[in-house]
Chains A and B, each alone.
Chain A
């Protein structure tokens, strides 16, 4: 039997993971390329998931472990696709494997290096949305796959200044002699028959809506920051605490940037209504006496079990008020959220100690570059364009290249998983046809 044709999956969030697993389970080789040091994507940052309140890492970790161990998957983390040539059935892909400065086959993930690093506790931890600090050598989170440390070239003293004290503390600490500052980037070339793009999304910087005071008031945070705050593995160990204080009044604001052509986001971000409902539930769970207010325009609880979850959250003494807040300002040591409650027909000021902004899901900044690399088109909203909005939602204008997850448009986890599996089905057809050619 001739060697089976392979697939390339770009991005190892839940979409890429699922697509890769389906193709690999069906018996075809997969190259799974992820730019970050670990697989997991956005879902790894989440606390619980709606509407079942499953702990996100609990359901994600097995899948992450599976892609790490699958005999048909070659995982390339900390790597980027730099060129794609050829056509369906015979793509030639060039992948840049960035140097971790840590030997992958030697590192055991013990973390002694990070403990020893001179920059320990001084580097902004992006996985925790900047709510904590880490070392310059790091794994993004404890369940990372692969569990291999990476030297952050932006903050490592040696890599940025050419010198790190008299001796490398990390190298001295490493029991496996895995750290190697001589490491260089490698270029890898692979041939694949099909490509799945699962590059995910960004979140809008809420500073583009200055009226909400994000960046001015420390207790105005984004939904993703709230996830880290609420997560048991987050910087506060799951306590909703800001500057040592438990908030008494928590206000959630929907549609921060979404449904707003002014910010370049004319579309609905599709997930915010539900994750905010989940956040409200989590606050209620952790702070039984807190007053919780959610400001909304239209409550979009459309998925299976979602309306029921919304009903449940309201019963948990979460006050839903209809109106998009117009501004946030300070009064004494508290914040004031000013909004018209359109059902009262009256402007109200709601005091808050914590304001959580449901920021818009936006295309990744490098989407146009990736589109050019792969020969894809983008829709007017900036996401990748599918071949037909109704009956070809995962195919693209380029045969053999398929879309999975939020790179095509915002979607929640079940819809992302369904679409990822759909992309896998399309890829499997191409793989089969290539093989039997």
Chain B
């Protein structure tokens, strides 16, 4: 069919229009071969912007649409949908990124306009070669895998199970409850963990839809959204591994606490007086706060141990330590009314609901807050000395203490890296698992059907963990409840006439999509596994593999347009 192309240039408010002469680009686009209409508009992604495309597609009989705006990562689905409504095949929509790759990075108006024209030209040339593709759906295995039996995993498992789906809950240790089970009381109400966590664990244990695998880990995952297959292996030998099929996966592998030996200046491991917040939690549970058989008179908390520290490669804030310190300081005041309790801090981050009020309560309970990042700890007689600049006095002080509590930060678990490797999940710079979008997709990942819950994504407190776990459950429930998932249409196809059966595609594919047909000795790509990454197409020495939507003639048309510019 002869290309009838509509070109739409977006101002993106002033994001594009302030730098690029959108009118000039529109006038230029109108002269390009195959272009039937060229328009510009303030926000192409807005309803009237999309309406322009639909209206033109219908009235002018467009069969190709080019939108010059932001990155396709942002709005390709939007414009594909709009074009589709107007009767254009969604795969005959091409985007020219004139924002991230043009207006935002080129300050000169003349040059930016020129580049925008080139990008539009290349997109139009490619669009002429685009072929219609069909989107298909795949069925979804009803069931979910939840990795991690801490609070995040428990909550996610319960929501999915309550919505009627089988859940496989895999936990490395021999019990459910995770880190929270190690806590004594929780902020801000000083509620004993024992009052709610065992009930939660029990609910999971007794749920008819939940199968719990203790002392187990996930050793292999294959498949794709809707159709994952996982192998659950027992950590101790002797038991048979389980093979489970699920439609969605929730990762809730939790966190590790920072090892304060990496900050040798605090003398952790050397002085019995120096403990971590986690260790104090256990002492508060047991009720024994003595050090060397004596009741402490001076107790010091040190915040940000292993957090906000670029030297250690941990530039991030661990989000919970301020509240944990405030909680433990209050509990120490209750347990040892005669002890003086001092907290050294840089910023007090008590941001959550009732957080600031809790900090107020801690101070009113007699906890002294002093501003300064402690520099070192050394021995003096039976005590240790905390040396710090009190930045509000602008003076270095030596503060003697009988008990020093290090508020250790959170760090990613090494096991999370294993899971990430199995699923090819990216991690953020801080080492935690990376969400699909930091603002609007905080529990989704780059892999469809795989979702994040709790501290594997980044430090968070219990309510935020629970909210995120439920959020992951909601994301997981969408494919499970729909029963089908849309499949990538831009997949690789093998021309059996050209394929020599060398198997290089099988080796290179990260998703195990191609396989050699045992009968014919040629490669075939499983369309449901293929992600359309194109690795096989460029590897194939016989040029037998074609990646649909990125065919050589499409790419070359685009390249030629730019080369000839």
A and B touch in the complex (CB under 8 A): yes
Are A267 and B18 closer than 8 Å at their CB atoms? no
**Interface set, chain B 194-209, CB cutoff 8 A to A:** 196-197, 200
Asked if A143 meets B46 with Cβ closer than 8 Å, knowing A237-B14, A394-B467, the reply is: yes
Closest to B154 in A: A391
**Interface set, chain A 231-259, CB cutoff 8 A to B:** 231-233, 237-238, 258-259
Count class of interface residues, chain A: 35 or more
Are A57 and B347 closer than 8 Å at their CB atoms? no
Are A65 and B47 closer than 8 Å at their CB atoms? yes
Closest to A28 in B: B481
- B295 at the binding interface (Cβ < 8 Å): no
Are A25 and B357 closer than 8 Å at their CB atoms? no
A85 to B159, CA, bound (A): 26
Are B18 and A418 closer than 8 Å at their CB atoms? no
Closest to B197 in A: A391
Select which of B191, B197, B464 is within 8 A of A415 by beta carbon.
Answer: B464
A270 to B392, CA, bound (A): 24
- B519 at the binding interface (Cβ < 8 Å): no
The interface bits of chain A over 411-435 (1 if a CB of B lies within 8 angstroms of the residue's CB, else 0) are 0011101111111111011001100
Q: What distance in Å separates the Cβ of B107 from its nearest Cβ neighbour in chain A? A: 12
Q: What distance in Å separates the Cβ of A139 from its nearest Cβ neighbour in chain B? A: 10
**Interface set, chain B 34-91, CB cutoff 8 A to A:** 42-43, 45-48, 50, 70, 74-75, 77-78, 81
Q: Contacts of B164 on A, CB cut-off 8 Å? A: 432, 436
- A390 at the binding interface (Cβ < 8 Å): yes
Q: Contacts of B462 on A, CB cut-off 8 Å? A: 390-391
Q: Contacts of B441 on A, CB cut-off 8 Å? A: 417
A28 to B480, CA, bound (A): 13
Q: What distance in Å separates the Cβ of B394 from its nearest Cβ neighbour in chain A? A: 6
- B253 at the binding interface (Cβ < 8 Å): no
Closest to A307 in B: B317
- Can you list 25 residue pairs at the A/B interface with Cβ under 8 Å? A22-B474, A27-B482, A58-B45, A58-B75, A60-B440, A62-B74, A65-B78, A142-B48, A147-B46, A232-B15, A302-B349, A303-B317, A305-B428, A343-B394, A383-B353, A390-B186, A391-B155, A393-B466, A414-B442, A417-B442, A421-B470, A421-B471, A422-B474, A426-B470, A428-B159
Besides the known contacts A267-B356, A304-B435, A422-B468, 12 further A-B residue pairs in the complex with CB atoms under 8 A apart: A28-B481, A65-B50, A302-B351, A305-B438, A343-B392, A389-B353, A390-B196, A390-B463, A391-B196, A421-B474, A422-B473, A429-B162
7 closest A-B pairs by beta carbon, nearest first, are: A422-B470, A421-B471, A232-B13, A425-B474, A409-B353, A232-B14, A143-B46
Which positions in A face B, CB cutoff 8 Å? 14, 18, 22, 25-28, 49, 51-52, 54-55, 57-63, 65, 68-69, 109, 142-147, 231-233, 237-238, 258-259, 266-268, 270, 298-308, 311, 342-345, 379, 381, 383, 388-394, 408-409, 413-415, 417-426, 428-429, 432-433, 436
Which positions in B face A, CB cutoff 8 Å? 12-15, 18, 42-43, 45-48, 50, 70, 74-75, 77-78, 81, 151, 155, 159, 162-164, 186, 188-189, 191, 196-197, 200, 308, 310, 315-317, 319, 347-357, 360, 391-394, 428-430, 432, 435, 437-443, 457-458, 462-464, 466-475, 477-478, 481-482
